[in-house]
Structure 1
Amino acid sequence: MDDLFAPMHIVLLLVVALLVFGPKRLPHLGSDLAKGIREFQNELHGTKNSSVNQEQNATFDNKPSDSPDPHSFSAHSTDNGSD
């Protein structure tokens, strides 16, 4: 039992799967499993690509302005509360 995926182990797994699921459902299960793996990989790669795009956009969107707008400050912000 040195190798986990020895040819005899694979044959044994296929026979057990055939007995459990039957000959009619086995091809459908294989295709459904492959489709699920493919969708998972697409989502995983899509998530990586979108996170890279978000990081690139964030570096350009967050640049500071040249000078603050003097009209954005209110008179109350300079009040120190000594009324």
Structure 2
Amino acid sequence: MFGSIGTAELLIIVLVILLVFGKDQLPQVVRSILRTWKDLQKQTESVRDEINDILKDDSN
């Protein structure tokens, strides 16, 4: 899901988020991050599909 981010790095990120936002806001922050991540993946897939369509049209 997170590419080359390992367990240790993910733990450090969560700890920093916890320190910055506090335990009460952590669930909301995590939801926001995951929502943004999903949107980014959708946009990346959309751009990739458009590029592939253009390349297929050019090869014909």
What is the TM-score with the length of structure 1 in the denominator? 0.48
What is the TM-score with the length of structure 2 in the denominator? 0.62
* One-letter amino acid of the structure 1 residue matched with residue 51 of structure 2: S
Q: Answer with 1 or 2: which has the greater Rg.
A: 1
Higher helix share: 2
Three-state SS of the structure 1 residue aligned to 2:33 is helix
* One-letter amino acid of the structure 2 residue matched with residue 23 of structure 1: K
The structure, 1 or 2, with the larger RCO (C-alpha pairs under 8 Å, 6+ apart) is: 2
Task: List gaps (5 residues or longer) in structure 2.
Answer: 1-6
Distance 2:17 2:36 in 1: 18
* One-letter amino acid of the structure 1 residue matched with residue 54 of structure 2: Q
What RMSD in Å do the two structures reach over aligned CA positions?
Answer: 2.6
Task: List gaps (5 residues or longer) in structure 1.
Answer: 61-83
Percent of aligned positions that are identical: 19
Distance 2:40 2:26 in 1: 21
Q: How many residues align?
A: 52
| 1:55–1:19 distance in 2 versus 1, CA, 3 Å | closer
